[in-house]
Structure 1
C-alpha cells in the first residue's frame, strides 16, 4: 500500500518537465486530489521561503528582435523555477535546475512579449503547489522609440538679471541618461544620468537665454532613444535694465532742470545790469 508521501513524490516526478517547456498537464492522480474550489492554483508560502531576484540582460528596455535573458536568482538552492507574466495565472516558462540561478531565454522579442514579469522557486520537500514568495516585478519594454519627454524651466522661462534657471527634462522611466541641447550648438550643453524619471540642468542667468530641447535614452547597449522634446525658449527679463534706464532719465531731467534754472537766473541778472543808466554805474 502506498503512503501519502509516496503519492506526493510520484506526483512531483510526473510533473517534472524539461527546461524551457511550458506548464505541463497535471497528472490524473493530481486532478483527483480534493481542493477547495476557492483556493488559488499555488499555495501561499510561509515567510521562511524568501523571494528571489529577477533581472534582464542585456537590458529591460530593448528594441524588437533582440534576444533577452531573464535571470531568476534564489537565495538558496532550488529544485525548480517558474517565470510568470502579469495577466496570466500559469507560468510562461519553467526551469528545472538544482542551483540558485535559472535563466529564461526570450529569442527575438516582440512588443507583445513586453510586460510585467516575476519569478518564483520551489525546493524538494515543499508541499505540492507551494512556491516561494514572488520576486519584485520586472518591467520588460520592447519598443523602437521611447516616449517623448517634456522640458520646463524652473522657476520659469524668463530669467531676471543675476538669477539662475534650471531646465527639467522629464520622461516616464527612471534610470535613463538625459541630454540637453541648445539651438545652434551640435554637442549637448549638458549630459547626465538620473535614477529618477527626470533630470535637472542648472544654467547661469547670463548664459541661459536661448532655445532648448532634450531627449533621453537607455544607459547601456542596445540603446533605445526617445524623440526630442518640444523646444523651450528661455529669455532674459528686461525689467531690470528698463528700471535702470528710467532712473537715468529722471536724474538727467532733474539735472537739466537745475541747469535751466541757473541759466535763467544768469540771464535775468545780465538783463537787469544792462538796463542800469551809465551815470549810475560806478
Structure 2
C-alpha cells in the first residue's frame, strides 16, 4: 500500500532593505537620489522604488552581480512625499520579494553638518587600518558614510552617544578617495544633515614602505643609520626606538634615502628595535606613519668594550712614559 508523505512547505523570508536619501549639487542644480541596500548575499538582485502608497514601482533597476545596492534618481516629488524600496530574488524559478524598507522622504530642511576626523591621518600604506569619526550636535541619529557618491556603511551609535566610528580595516588601493558622512533622524519625518567636510584618503602601495638599511661607522667615528624609500616626492624620515622619536631628517625632492648621524651615547640607550618611518609632511598630531620597517638594534657592547680597553691601554702607556721620564731625570741628577 503506497504511503503518502507530508509535503513540507518552506517559506523564505528576506530581510528588509534600507533606503537612504542622497543629495548632490553641481552646475545644473540639485539632484536627488535614493540608495537601496540589502545584505551582500543578495547581490545582483532586482530592486524596486515605490512612491507614497502606490503598489506599483516607479522605477526598477538590477544591481551589478557583485553588488547588493542600487541608486535611483528622483526627478519629481511633492513636499514630504515618502519613498520606500524592495528587492526580488529567484528561488526554484519563482520570484520572491522582500518586505518594503522603512520610508524616507526628500526635504529641504537639513540638520547642521557633522564634524569629521580621521586617525591616524590622511596617508596610509596598503594593509593599515583607518578610522573615521563623525559627531552630531545631539544624540538620537544614525550616521552614514559615503566614498565619493558611493554608500559605504551605516552606523547607529550606542546609547545616548552622538559619535560614530567607521572602521576601514586592511585598506587597499580601492579605498583611496574622498569620504563624507551624514546623519539623519531615527524618527519620522526623517530629516538628513548636510554633508560633512570631506576627508581625503591616500593609499600608498606596499612596495613603497621605507626600509631600515644598516648602521655604519664613518671615518670620524660617528654612527650613521640609513633609511630609504623606493620613490618619494620629498618628505621627512623619522627614526624611532620603540615608540620614542630619537631623530628626524628631511628628504629632498630628488632623494629617496636619508641618513641619521647619532652619537654613541644615543645608540647605547637604544634597547630593542630601531624603526624607520616616512611622512610627507613634518611631524604633527594628524600625520600618518607607515608600517615601520624593523631591525633589531645593533649590540654595541663589544665595540664599546674594545674602545674602553684601547683607552685604558693608551692611558697606561702614557703613564709609563711619564714614570720612565721622571726616573731617568732622577738618575741623571744622582
**Structure number with higher helix proportion:** 1
Q: Normalising to structure 2: TM-score of the pair?
A: 0.37
**Structure number with higher strand proportion:** 2
Where relative contact order (Cα < 8 A, 6+ residues apart) is larger, the structure is 1
